[in-house]
Structure 1
Amino acid sequence: MRQRKGEAWKKAGKWVACTSIAASVLAGCSGGGDGNNEGTKASTAPSASSGPYAKHLDISWVGHNQIGKINDAVNNPVKKMIEEKFNVTLTMVPLDVHNKEQVNLYFADGKTADHIRLNVSSTFLMEQGLVREVPEETLRKLMPDWMKSIESMVDPKIVASSMKFKGKLYAVPFINYSNLQPWVMGVRKDWLDNVGIAKVPETLDEYHEMLKRFTFNDPDKNGKNDTYGGHGLQLYLRGAFGLGSGNAFYADGSGKVYSSVLTDNYKQYLKTIQAWYKEGLIDPESITDQRPQQRAKWADGKFGVLADHPWWYASTTAGNITKMVTDKNANAKIEFLKPFTGPSGDKGAGGASYPAMQSGFYFGNKTSDEKMERIMAIKNFMSADDNFYIRAYFGEEGKGYTRDSDGVIKVAPDYLSIDKITQEGIGQYFALRPDNWEFYKKNNVLKIDAPAYDVAMSSPKKYNDVNFTVNSTNEAALKYGTAVSTVVTEFETNATVGKLDIDKEWDAFKKKYLDAGGQAILDNYQKLHDEAKK
């Protein structure tokens, strides 16, 4: 499994932080659902007293808990609901799945569970034989709604190639729309009006002209020369040169793996941003400012365009970056740019990683076929039935949540606390499913917030990491990744502020990159890419 910058559930480990914005609760946290359902389906699970669920089963469950807390008591409403419908007794294992040390000790002691989902790197489970192999035929037969949802978001060929580890299937594959969602760039529409720009930029040249007017044409009409075009402009600018965020590794049409930062496109990107910096279009403090400083300046109207995840622009997000502007300027308006076209016609947005299917859940190496199949039935029904899923995730309607006039879910304030989530058994401990954008937008996005999400979902993606499937960890990246990233960061920073001549230093930079471990990382990725293609 490809090592990521943190696990796929980095955000979800902070469930309460995510759910404090009601409309975003499924995006950053739940991992969410089928989304192909129109309205909600009627409950179609067979009765627990007959059919495939006639035999009672005892199932142990390690789920994605709320900072380690669980409620395994009989008064856990969601647990009870599942037990009654599927004729099982569920034992919730008290393991903090976000704590790597606890997880390692748990399995080192020889412990296991029937259902296993972790929020730390789980490659070791497969490498050490701690989880059982899953028959793909059984998976597709018993989890058709789950798989249909995944394959509505990701090309089935990519799903098929990325869900296996060294040629074998261990994890039930998982992804949701938020894993695939790039960032967006918001622009001060009132500034566009003030400087005489009728529409948002669609080309690199138009974007450059906008930055110049935002810097020199007094866009806030206060009579002072106190604004910049932007504070960190790299998102769409990188996309315009065919680049994702950071140091990515891509495979070309012939299958040769290369580093994005060793390309001529990266060189031209650096020369462009260096020129803009020299023009004074970029806040010079952006080199050292952290996010709090950036946002304070954005709120104060010191620059006019900002890149971030659409979730942060949403009105339902606590401390959102739209309200922080409008609170200080009632006339301020935010519009969202689509990725603009670069010199060669390329465009795109970063912020999303290449689809990785092995972040779902596992079955312990001692789990029987019948227990595995019962768990599959539970999880597929969670994906197939919106009513069941929403009840399990949010609680009872009228208590855990209500809906506004547009049908959008509004979470009750007292259901946003860890204690309440644990008490009710809600959240993703049981209610995990691969939500797609259609479901999320219909149930969780206010109309006022839809534009940012719509731009993000329609943007061409420039992946942060790789653009190909691998089915094992790049050990060289683990060993040399930090050193190589340091080389890139130093060169990009010095190039941006004009401390070096990019053309003269280019060959030396490439050599330093490769010698720091970049060559070993490239070689390992080439090997993993070739193996995955077999």
Structure 2
Amino acid sequence: MKKALALSMALAMSAAMLAGCGGSASGSTSASSAASSADSAASSADSAASGTPTVSFMIPDFTGHVLSNEHSDEVIAKYEAYTGTHVEWRTEANDTYSEKFGLTLMDKDNMPMILTATKTLDQNANAADAAKRGAFWDLTEYLQDSEAYPNLSQISPDVLKGLTVDGQIIGIPRSRAIGRNGLGYRTDWAEAVGITEAPKTVEDVYDMLYKFTYDDPDGNGANDTYGLEMCKYTGPWDIIQTWFGCGNGWVEQDGKLVPVHQTAEYKEALDWMRKIYADGLVRPDWATVDTANFQVDSQKGVTGVFVDTMDGTKRIWKYFEDNAIADVNDASKIATMTSVGPINGHTLATTGYNGFYLITKSGAKTEEDVKACLHFLDKMCDPEMMALADYGLKDICYDINENGKIVPNGKYDTTNCPHAGLNQAVPYVPYLTEQNPDYQLEKADYQLAYEESIANNVQYAVFNPALGYLTQSDTYAECGSDLVQILDDARTQYICGQIDEAGLQAAFDQWNARGGTQVIEEVNALYAADKA
């Protein structure tokens, strides 16, 4: 139910940068698409003659140079030989992709076989509406075939729940870490105030926040620090709520799905948040701090605890490395962050994906077409193809060091690299990064700590059980954003002491009247039918 926080900083040498980030594509995309289409037409004829399956695939373009740079022909030859598939790429500039996606859904005579949708299904009204009208293949039975699709068959059922419409799985997720959210803190500050173990309970967290605020953790003799960094982006409060057992957006109670603000645990969480604000453990103007400045206080030594994605904790640590921020206890060392993840055995699960692949009935007209699409997507998750999409070509884009690890040689950036754009066709399942030692990147300590934390978090991550039903709720489609805003505003006002319990209840009543009561009814009707 939450909008994702856009964070632009990325590791120059990490697969994550190549997998998810890039500048906006410009008008040059159309020109490159036209040239690509001409090339595709010629090679499609060759593919047909040789019996090689052809798959048409529409993806967002972040660079304006999808597979059209120097040595790109070698990349194309590699993935076609490995997957046994010829691909006709259709690229659309990322900054206008949502508009083009909607137009494509209306053009049944020119539909790609695989259509990439951005965001999540509940955030993509066009995809959800088209799914209800039967525009996409039901992938349920295919994804149970572990012999044909050894990678895709391992997609988490909890993730697939959010890609289910009318009981049919209609999308392959573009996977992101399920256990991405949690808590991180400055290791040297904890040592300075006598904290020797990572916090496990909310009482431990409160103790850390208090000491980071009032026990001079940076040793400068001034009262100039706060425990928790916050800004107007309120996602961290969602994570903190799960520590109290109230669930993620919705929770199952007595056989029904209930929005978390209607639980006793939610109120307990809000009272705890209100207390840390009243006790001065978070800066008093947090609700006005621009989202673009999130992490700045942690980087600059103003705060010591960061609750959000573990990527954020990693980036703070990287900042310390890049700027030689000294450990407050030993100036000869660089400061580090400790990634904790869950508190009280809970943390907020992500949806498990950011965008998804649809196999269209207008494009993939036969079952053989569907199998060709799934075969290609499955093979792109093999270590060889993930390495090709993430790092490019050996001896051209990267070298192998004395430890047998991949080291980018710096000759190319994400715009002009030979493999530009290929990562947009990788589902990244069952793994987000290469597990085969022959295809692993040389990684810094902060990257290794990040990967360890998100892998550990999965077992504690709490999913939203209503995701698959909210997508199908007509009332939620109409007023879902209003319902989210009502609760966000009330929570912030209550934490900051601007409203009392009566004001909080008034906001809940407003939520009911705006359509919340009807959403609960619709969600539970779908839930009951699904259980049956």
For 2:97 and 2:218, the matched residues in 1 are separated by 48
Which residue is equivalent to 1:41? Answer: none
Which residue is equivalent to 1:204? Answer: 202
Structure 1 residue 501: Cα displacement = 2.7
CA gap of 1:72–1:274, structure 2 versus 1, over 3 A, is: closer
Matched, 1:55 2:23: no
For 1:198 and 1:75, the matched residues in 2 are separated by 52
For 1:441 and 1:227, the matched residues in 2 are separated by 43
Which residue is equivalent to 2:410? Answer: 413
Which residue is equivalent to 1:144? Answer: 149
Which residue is equivalent to 1:266? Answer: 266
Select 1:123's aligned residue among 128, 132, 140: 128
Scaled by the length of structure 1, the TM-score of the pair is 0.77
Native 8 Å contact 1:295 1:321 kept in 2:
no
Structure 1 residue 456: Cα displacement = 3.2
For 1:78 and 1:230, the matched residues in 2 are separated by 46
One-letter amino acid of the structure 1 residue matched with residue 16 of structure 2:
S
> SS of 1:184's equivalent?
strand
For 1:135 and 1:209, the matched residues in 2 are separated by 48
Identity of aligned residues (%): 17
Matched, 1:101 2:105: no
Matched, 1:240 2:256: no
Which residue is equivalent to 1:221? Answer: 219
Two-structure CA RMSD over aligned residues (Å): 3.8
For 1:529 and 1:512, the matched residues in 2 are separated by 25
Native 8 Å contact 1:69 1:96 kept in 2:
no
Native 8 Å contact 2:193 2:211 kept in 1:
yes
Native 8 Å contact 2:212 2:304 kept in 1:
yes
CA gap of 1:523–1:325, structure 2 versus 1, over 3 A, is: farther
For 2:441 and 2:368, the matched residues in 1 are separated by 36
Question: Deviations 1:174-218 (Å, cap 9, x if unpaired)?
Answer: 353x34123232212222222222222222222222222222221
Structure 1 residue 142: Cα displacement = 6.3
CA gap of 1:461–1:404, structure 2 versus 1, over 3 A, is: farther
For 2:273 and 2:529, the matched residues in 1 are separated by 38
Native 8 Å contact 1:116 1:364 kept in 2:
no
Which residue is equivalent to 1:37? Answer: none
CA gap of 1:79–1:273, structure 2 versus 1, over 3 A, is: same
> SS of 1:76's equivalent?
helix
For 1:27 and 1:165, the matched residues in 2 are separated by 27
Structure 1 residue 402: Cα displacement = 3.1
Q: How many residues align?
A: 483
CA gap of 1:419–1:319, structure 2 versus 1, over 3 A, is: farther
Structure 1 residue 498: Cα displacement = 1.9
Aligned pairs for 1:11-410 (under 5 A) are 20-25=12-17, 28=20, 55-66=51-62, 69-71=65-67, 76-84=73-81, 89-96=86-93, 99-110=97-108, 111-119=110-118, 121=124, 122-134=127-139, 136-137=141-142, 140=145, 143-150=148-155, 154-155=156-157, 158=158, 164-171=164-171, 173-174=172-173, 176=175, 178-232=176-230, 234=237, 237-243=240-246, 248-252=249-253, 254-314=254-314, 320-323=318-321, 326-327=324-325, 330=331, 332-341=335-344, 347-350=345-348, 352-355=349-352, 359-367=356-364, 368-383=366-381, 385-410=382-407
Structure 1 residue 126: Cα displacement = 2.6
Structure 1 residue 510: Cα displacement = 2.5
For 1:24 and 1:379, the matched residues in 2 are separated by 19
For 1:211 and 1:425, the matched residues in 2 are separated by 44
For 1:291 and 1:381, the matched residues in 2 are separated by 38
For 1:143 and 1:131, the matched residues in 2 are separated by 20
CA gap of 1:478–1:134, structure 2 versus 1, over 3 A, is: closer
Richer in strand (by share):
2
For 1:134 and 1:148, the matched residues in 2 are separated by 11
Question: Deviations 1:229-271 (Å, cap 9, x if unpaired)?
Answer: 22237466423212456xx12223x331111112211111121
> SS of 1:337's equivalent?
strand
For 2:491 and 2:414, the matched residues in 1 are separated by 42
Structure 1 residue 55: Cα displacement = 2.5
One-letter amino acid of the structure 2 residue matched with residue 509 of structure 1:
A
Native 8 Å contact 1:182 1:461 kept in 2:
no
One-letter amino acid of the structure 2 residue matched with residue 251 of structure 1:
E
For 1:235 and 1:104, the matched residues in 2 are separated by 31
Structure 1 residue 360: Cα displacement = 3.0
One-letter amino acid of the structure 1 residue matched with residue 223 of structure 2:
N
Scaled by the length of structure 2, the TM-score of the pair is 0.77
Structure 1 residue 27: Cα displacement = 6.2
Taking CA–CA contacts closer than 8 Å with sequence separation of 6 or more, which of the two structures ends up with the larger relative contact order? 1
